[in-house]
Amino acid sequence: MRKKIIAGNWKMNKNLEEGMALASEVVNMVKDEYQGSAEVVLIPPFTHISAVSKIISDASNVFSGAQNCSNHASGAYTGEISTEMLKSAGASYIIIGHSERRQYFGEHNDWLAKKVDAVLGSGLNPIYCCGETLEERESNVHFGVLETQIKEGLFHLNESQIAQVVIAYEPVWAIGTGKTASTAQAQEVHAFLRNLISNQFGSNIANNITIQYGGSVKADNAKELFSAPDIDGALVGGAALQSRSFVDIIKAMA
Ligand code: PEP
């Protein structure tokens, strides 16, 4: 059975004290209230990963992650953070190619492919994001856009490497906008993505790869989204900044 994963991307929010309080609340609430099988991933700013990783260390189903990384291993790259540094701080997952990185920081698929390699090289799991803009969806080119993002970012991997990857489908028009893709729209894309993976890597790998949905996921739409056969969890932004709303999303996953 493939892994279900609910991840909270805190983006550039919360100071250290606030982040530690949020992580503690989530861990305690998950322990008390969640009996399901999903993994929970807290993805704070870099500066908080070490502290958050200590807070979650005795919860077997809660992990930490990072929002980005360098594609370089070490050296004269001022301001960059390597996958080994993130690993030593306790991170298990690293988001690669979030649409905000693509849009505001010019990250392209060829560069992201190198970051995926760096994450895998450190034995960590990339959460590789893909998603179309509103304009691309309205002009009906979204499947082509998604296919290019997946092919250029992931198709150079071998079978054991792709098995470590989590894919997050995040339509850009649904991120932080309050507009969620309908369950039918999301399911259609998730099935398309799984089929792409199947054609390249085989059906066994495709059936086991986790594909998360992201884009204005809230407690009141999570259950329906999670009922779709190809939606294996969520990458959550805004609603992950409060323990109650985030844990209610987790609880929507059986
Ligand atoms: C995200 O940042 O990945 C995201 C999905 O944000 P939000 O849930 O706020 O739309």
Question: Measuring from atom 3 of ligand 1, which residue has the nearest CA?
Answer: 237
**Residue 106 zone, left/alpha/beta (φ > 0; ψ -120 to 50; rest):** left
**Cβ–ligand 1 contact at 236 (below 6 Å):** yes
Region 35-64 average pLDDT: 97
Identify the H or E element spanning 236.
Answer: strand 233-236
8 Å CB contact between 84 and 96: no
Q: How confident is the model at residue 44 (pLDDT cuts 50, 70, 90)?
A: very high
- Among 51-60, 170-179, 238-247, the minimum mean pLDDT is found in 170-179
Total domain count, the chain: 1
Q: In the structure encoding, which two tokens stand for residue 128, read together?
A: 């590789």
Q: How confident is the model at residue 176 (pLDDT cuts 50, 70, 90)?
A: confident
Instruction: Give distance in angstroms: CA of 66 to centre of ligand 1.
Output: 15
Question: Measuring from atom 2 of ligand 1, which residue has the nearest CA?
Answer: 237
98, 217, 241, 245, best to mutate for ligand 1 pocket (most atoms within 8 Å of CB): 217
How far is C-alpha 62 from the chain's CA centre?
A: 14
Task: Cite the active site residues.
Answer: 98, 170
Torsion, Cα 112 19 4 175, to 10 degrees, reads -60
8 Å CB contact between 90 and 50: yes
Instruction: Give distance in angstroms: CA of 72 to centre of ligand 1.
Output: 27
Region 57-78 average pLDDT: 97
Tell me the pLDDT tens digit for each residue of 178-234. 888 899 999 999 999 999 999 999 999 999 999 999 999 999 999 999 999 999 999
Which amino acid does the sequence have at 250?
Answer: I
pTM to 2 decimals? Answer: 0.97
Mean of all residue pLDDT scores within the chain: 97
pLDDT of residue 23: 98
CA-CA distance, 230 to 194, in Å (whole number)?
8
Q: Which among 158, 138, 136, 139 has a CA at the least distance from the CA of 149?
A: 136
Region 123-149 average pLDDT: 97
Percent of the chain with pLDDT over 70: 100
Q: Which atom of ligand 1 is nearest to the CA of 170?
A: 5
Domain with residue 239: its CATH number is 3.20.20.70
Q: How confident is the model at residue 43 (pLDDT cuts 50, 70, 90)?
A: very high
Instruction: Give distance in angstroms: CA of 213 to centre of ligand 1.
Output: 10
Strands 5-9 and 39-43: parallel
Q: Which domain holds residue 62?
A: 5-251
pLDDT of residue 54: 98
**Cβ–ligand 1 contact at 153 (below 6 Å):** no
- Residue keyed to tokens 């997050």: 168
Residues in the chain: 254
Region 54-71 average pLDDT: 97
pLDDT of residue 177: 86
